[in-house]
Amino acid sequence: MGISFILLIFLIGLVGSFMSGMLGVGGAIINYPLLLYIPVLFGFTGFNAYQVSGIVAVQVFFATLSGVWAYRKGGYLNKELITIMGLSILIGSLMGGYGSHFFSEDIINLVYGILVIIAAVMMFIPKTGTEDNQSDHIRPPKILTSIMTFVIGLASGIVGAGGAFLLFPLMLVVLKIPTKITIATSLAVTFISSIGTTVTKLVIGQVPFMPALVIVAASLIASPIGVLIGKKMNANILQGILIFVILITTVKVWFDILH
C-alpha cells in the first residue's frame, strides 16, 4: 500500500469513528459504503465486500470500546439493557459472522442494503416518551428485547457491523429509551456484538491487516472526540444527523444494488 492510499483509509476511519462516537453507532453504516466506494473513486484498487466487512468489524470493535470508555461516567449506561441485549447480540453476531463465509458478495451487499432500509424506516416512526436521562428507571420487556437484538446481531454479523445503526432506532422507537441513554448503551451493546463479529472475521480470514490497523488508529483518535461533542449536542439534532446519514447511505447502496 502506498502512502496516499494509507492516508485515504485513515481519513475514512476518522470520519466514520467521529460519527460513531457522536451518534452512538459503531461506524459501520458510514465506513462500509466509504470503504467500498471511495478508494475506487480515487483510482485505487478497491476492497471486495468480504474485505470491507472484515475491516469494518475491527473498526467497530475499537471505536465502540473507545466510545464506551468515554461514556463510563454520567449514568447513561443502562446495565440491565447492556446485559440482556449484549448476550443476545453476541450469539447472533457469532452466527452471522461465521455464516457470511457461505454467502456471495452480492448477498452481503444486499443484506446491508436491507438493514439500512429498516433503519431508515424506523427513524421516521414518531417517538413517544420522555427524555429522562436516569437510566435506572428503564425496565425493558426482556423477551422481546432479546429476540429483536439476536436478529440484529445475526444480520449485522454478516456484513461486519456491530448493529448500532439498527439498535439506535430500536431503542428509541420500540423500547422508548431516552436519546442520550440510547447513544451510550447502544455503544456498549455494539461493542459486545463486535467481539463476536471480529473474532469470526479473523478466523475465516476476511480481515486485511494493514488497512484494519490504519482504521483502528483513526478510531482511537476520532471516536472519543465524537463522544465529547455528542454529550453537548441537543438530542433532536443528533437524531436528525443520524437520519440524514442513514438516508444518504440507503440511496447510494440501493442505487448500486439495482444497477
pTM of the model as a whole:
0.73
Cβ atoms within 10 Å of 74's Cβ, excluding its own:
13
Of 211 and 1, more confident: 211
Provide the pLDDT confidence category of residue 152 given band limits of 50, 70 and 90: confident
Tell me what pLDDT residue 214 has.
92
Range of the domain at 110: 3-258
Segment (H or E) for 126:
none
Give the span between the Cα atoms of 56 and 234, in whole angstroms: 28
pLDDT at 7: 93
Predicted confidence (pLDDT) at residue 25 exceeds the cutoff of 80: no
Residue 149 and residue 87: Cα distance in Å, rounded?
9
Q: Of 191, 168, 50, 171, which Cα lies nearest the Cα of 112?
A: 50
From the CB of residue 114, how many other CB atoms can be counted at a distance below 10 Å? Answer: 15
Q: Residue 162: its pLDDT value, please?
A: 64
pLDDT for 55 beyond 70: yes
pLDDT by residue (tens digit) across 193-251? 888 888 888 888 888 999 999 988 988 888 788 878 877 877 678 767 777 777 777 78
**Polymer length of the chain:** 259
Whole-number Cα distances in Å, 212 to 142, 201, 247: 35, 12, 26
Round to whole Å and give the CA distance between 223 and 228: 9
Quote the pLDDT of residue 9.
92
Look at residue 259 and tell me whether its pLDDT is greater than 60.
yes
Q: What is the mean pLDDT of residues 142-150?
A: 89
Predicted confidence band of residue 160 (pLDDT cuts 50, 70, 90)? confident
Q: In whole angstroms, what is the distance from residue 108 CA to residue 102 CA?
A: 10
Reading the block at residue 20, the C-alpha cell is 460513531
- Whether the predicted pLDDT of 24 surpasses 70: no
Counting the structural domains of the chain, the total is: 1
Give yes or no for a contact between 50 and 103, defined as CB atoms under 8 angstroms apart.
no
Whole-angstrom Cα distance, residue 162 to residue 184? 14
The rounded mean pLDDT for the chain is 81
CB contact at 8 A, 17 and 221: yes
Alpha helices (H) in 100-141, listed in sequence order: 105-123
Instruction: List the single range of 40-54, 94-108, 121-135 with lowest mean pLDDT.
Output: 121-135
Question: If residue 100 lies in a helix (H) or strand (E), which one and from where to where?
Answer: none
